[in-house]
Amino acid sequence: MISRPDRQADTRAPRPPWSRTLRPEKSSLVRALTERDRWVLRMVFEHRVLTTDQLADLAFPTVKIARRRLALLHTYHVLDRFRPMRSRGTAPHHWTLAPAGAAVLAAEVGVRVRDLGYNHQTTLAVAHSLHLTHTLGVNQWFTTLVTQPHGVRVARWWSETRCQRLWGDLARPDAYGRCTHGETVLDFFLEYDLGTTSLPRVAAKLHGYAELARTTGAMVPVLLWVPSTVREANARAALRQVWERLPDPGQVPVATAAAELLAASPAASPAEQVWLPLHTSSARQRLPELGTVWPRRTHIGDDIDQEATWAPSRRVTALAPPPPAQQW
């Protein structure tokens, strides 16, 4: 009643009795986590937020098993979760790293949590970020490339945060990746476009990549992914105007692709024949074929940011992400 307002303490729901038995003590939490659990913590830390479906595709045999295990990790307080509002249906759980999870990663390498660059409030802010859709889109792009490889093996997947730490004063890609196909190795910067950024602003980013190539010698292809072929045609016109005026256009290889070109199929993948190099109007190429298009391209050295290869734990455990102390 309005004349007898509730106290704030009265609104706190009592802790369910079963939570005391499911949540391990700090001393036993290490034993409760599997190697796959730790891999999930590293991936969520690296990429800020991953959905249940994405983690299920990357690391679990079925979605049901993923939901059960992720719920248990939430009970352990190593993962946080939220669900964005949707006008239709219900969004899957979105997972972020919780303080206990950051403590686990820090303990693995004997550093303090703050030395990881982890901040709980910043991590939670992703739930209200205007860039949430963009972040999830980039993560889905790479998740699809991993699970529907079409002969391509993903050897690296670095987040926007890591890229900014490494090259942010020159270029700011949405992600950096490395894929291999036989003897061909292709390093690339991904620019993921939702059609909401002005095309002159998108094209202007080529100046940063040109400066990166000039100062570091890293001539890495820039792959622009757009939603539609109309957007792609307009983007290519804007890109070409900037690209042709660069001091050395050959130092900045560029290719574009439109999501609209992919069939509406669970097997659709960005590795398919949808890529069109900017310097030509010939037939589209598959992603691994781009490795033969630009003879001057180079690779990001293994010495930068330490070796940061990765792979889903259920596929190649030897290539799991490195511990956070290695600046990943």
The pLDDT tens digits of the residues spanning 233-271 come to: 999 999 999 999 999 999 999 999 999 999 888 889 999
What's 89's domain CATH number? 1.10.10.10
Question: Which of 196, 252, 203 minimizes the C-alpha distance to 228?
Answer: 196
Same domain, 92 and 229: no
- Residue 317 in any domain: the answer is no
Strand pairing report for 175-181 and 184-192:
antiparallel
Same domain, 251 and 191: yes
pLDDT band per the 50, 70, 90 thresholds, residue 320:
very low
- Residue 208 in any domain: the answer is yes
Would you say 45 and 111 are in contact if contact means Cβ atoms under 8 Å apart? no
- Residue 42 in any domain: the answer is yes
**CA–CA distance from 128 to each of 72, 82, 85, 131, 136 (Å)?**
24, 10, 10, 9, 13
Same domain, 91 and 240: no
- List the alpha helices (DSSP H) in 23-118: 26-32, 35-47, 52-59, 63-75, 99-109
Q: pTM of the prediction?
A: 0.85
pLDDT at 87 over 70: yes
> How many domains in the chain?
2
pLDDT at 101 over 90: yes
If you average pLDDT over residues 289-296, what whole number do you get? 89
pLDDT at 204 over 50: yes
Instruction: Give me 153's structure tokens.
Output: 């093996």
Same domain, 98 and 240: no
Which residues, at least 6 apart from 98, have a Cβ–Cβ distance to it below 8 Å? Answer: 74, 77, 78, 79, 80, 120
Write down the mean pLDDT value for the chain: 85
Same domain, 264 and 145: yes
What is the domain range of residue 150?
132-292
Local structure of 153: helix, strand or coil:
strand
H-helix or E-strand containing 142? Answer: helix 132-147
- Residue 5 in any domain: the answer is no
Same domain, 64 and 206: no
- Residue 203 in any domain: the answer is yes
